[in-house]
Amino acid sequence: MAFVDIYTLKLLAHLPAILASQRRNVMVIGLGTGVTAGELTLYPDIERIDVAEISPTVVEALPYFSKATYHVENNPKVRIHIGDAFRILGRNKTKWDIIISEPSNLWVTGVDQLFTKEFYAIAKQRLSVNGILLQWIHRYEAVLASLNTIGLSSLDAILLRELWSPSYIKDFFSDFGIQTMDNPRLHYMAGKAFFMDLNISEVLLGPASIPYLPEYLLVKRHPEWAKIALDFETVRSFWESTKDRVKGHLLPMVPAVRLKAYLYDPNKFSLTTQEKQSDRVDLIPMITSKARDEESWAKVGLKGASYRTKAKAMLSHIDKHRNWIVPYPIDGLKALLEEGILQGADA
């Protein structure tokens, strides 16, 4: 098991369990190493954990991972159903409070059926009132102690990991259409992306998330997120939670949190000279504030530059650094563009 996989496998269990209004019955689609199902056994109010696994060999290998699964193979709460998850859900009349879908990678033949309109229709029928479906998608006390092993010591640290809000997802995929049994495309798209070493990391946490700011769960929890006073422990918790214990920082929100903290209080959350240069923090006052003069432009190396050059520098910074986590204002950019239009210069 790859070290980074443990983050995903644990969170697949804990995210819906923490957010669900009730959690008596749970269905896990895809047994794998058994970590997700094992994490669910930590909740005393979960009475039954069904697992759909298509490969008997995977089930046979389960005891080899006992140390990481709390011996899930011996837990009486857990029932493993061998077969195709699509049919297991279709034939089962159970109502689950939580359905966790974590099948194999999309390029594996048949897996893309579990991402179709038809599958989600069946899953919806099998959910109890206010039930939760958690969908894994490829992106390469007892409970508290378990989350602490991956640095997640607070709910805020978990919510910080949200990359797309519901409307953001809907709008982003509007051009791709709906995946159906008769029109499956994910299998081919995922395979092509994998073998060509393509990814969409650069759009997962970018400026396009700004219009959806009020929808993010962390913002719902802290309505004044754009102006929230970050205390040292909160920032430390965020940074610790986003570290890969092997390679250092892992997630794209690390520099965003660092920049947000610095903008809130540069004295309390200082940056190194290298970090200031990398984040171009000297350019932020020009983007955020309308008041500036040629001396200010000179400090950022843009004295005498055209409107176009100045705007390109600002837009480049926004594209790289501004997102829902650090939604700094852009009054300065707007003023520059308006001035340039009025002057009729550098169209």
pLDDT over threshold 90, residue 174: no
Q: Please give the average per-residue pLDDT across 92-100, as a whole number.
A: 94
Q: How many Cα atoms are found within 13 Å in the side-chain-facing hemisphere of 140?
A: 10
- The more confidently predicted of residues 237 and 270 is 270
pLDDT at site 1: 43
The yes-or-no verdict on residue 248 having pLDDT over 70 is no
Give the pLDDT band of residue 2 (cuts 50, 70, 90): very low
The pLDDT of residue 13: 95
Q: Which residue has the higher pLDDT, 224 or 153?
A: 224
pLDDT tops 60 at residue 228: yes
- Tell me if 24 is assigned to some domain: yes
So what's the pLDDT on residue 143? 60
The average pLDDT across 139-157 equals: 69
Which of 8-22, 78-92, 216-230 is predicted with the least confidence, judged by mean pLDDT? 216-230
Query: Could you give the CA distance from residue 147 to residue 155 in angstroms, rounded to a whole number?
Result: 10
Evaluate whether residue 132 is within a structural domain. yes
Residue in the structure block whose two tokens are 């974590």: 102
Q: Which of the four pLDDT bands, split at 50, 70 and 90, describes residue 34? A: very high
Mean pLDDT (whole number) for 261-275: 89
Arithmetic mean of pLDDT, 155-162: 84
Residue 346 in any domain: the answer is no
Residue 187 has pLDDT above 80, yes or no: no
Whether the per-residue pLDDT at 191 is higher than 50: the answer is: yes
Please, are residues 1 and 68 in contact by the beta-carbon 8 Å criterion? yes
In the numeric block, the tokens 């929100």 are attached to: 253
Residue with tokens 């080899």: 64
Q: Give the model confidence (pLDDT) of 291-319 as tens digits.
A: 778 888 998 999 888 888 999 999 999 99
SS3 for the chain is CCCCHHHHHHHHHHHHHHHCCCCCEEEEECCCCCHHHHHHCCCCCCCEEEEEECCHHHHHCHHHHHHHHCCHHHCCCEEEEECCHHHHHHHCCCCEEEEEECCCCCCCCCHHHHHCHHHHHHHHHCEEEEEEEEECCCCCCHHHHHHHCCCCCCHHHHHCCCCCCHHHHHHHCCCCCCCCCCCCCHHHHHHHHHHCCCCCHHHHCCHHHHHHHHHCHHHHHCCCHHHCCCCHHHHHHHHHHCEECCCEECCCHHHHHHHHHHHHCCCCCCCCHHHHHHHCHHHHHHHHCCCCCHHHHHHCCCCCCCHHHHHHHHHHHHHHHCCCCCCCCCHHHHHHHHHHHHHCCCC
Compute the average pLDDT of residues 218-233.
Answer: 83
Query: Could you tell me the pLDDT band of residue 245, with boundaries at 50, 70 and 90?
Result: low
Query: At 115, which CATH number?
Result: 3.40.50.150
Q: Does residue 212 register a pLDDT over 80? A: yes
pLDDT confidence bin for 112, thresholds 50/70/90: confident
Q: Tally the domains of the chain.
A: 1
Q: Which residue range(s) make up the domain with 159?
A: 5-195
- Whether 247 maps to a domain, the answer reads no
In a domain, 319, yes or no: no
pLDDT of residue 17: 95
Radius of gyration of the chain (CA): 24
Res. 266: pLDDT tops 50: yes
Average pLDDT (209-225) is 90
The answer as to whether 305 is a domain residue is no
Whether 47 is covered by a domain: the verdict is yes
Name the packing angle between helices 253-264 and 307-321 (round to 10°): 110
Overall average pLDDT of the 239-248 stretch: 68
d(CA 288, CA 54): 54
**Residue range 40-46: mean pLDDT, rounded:** 96
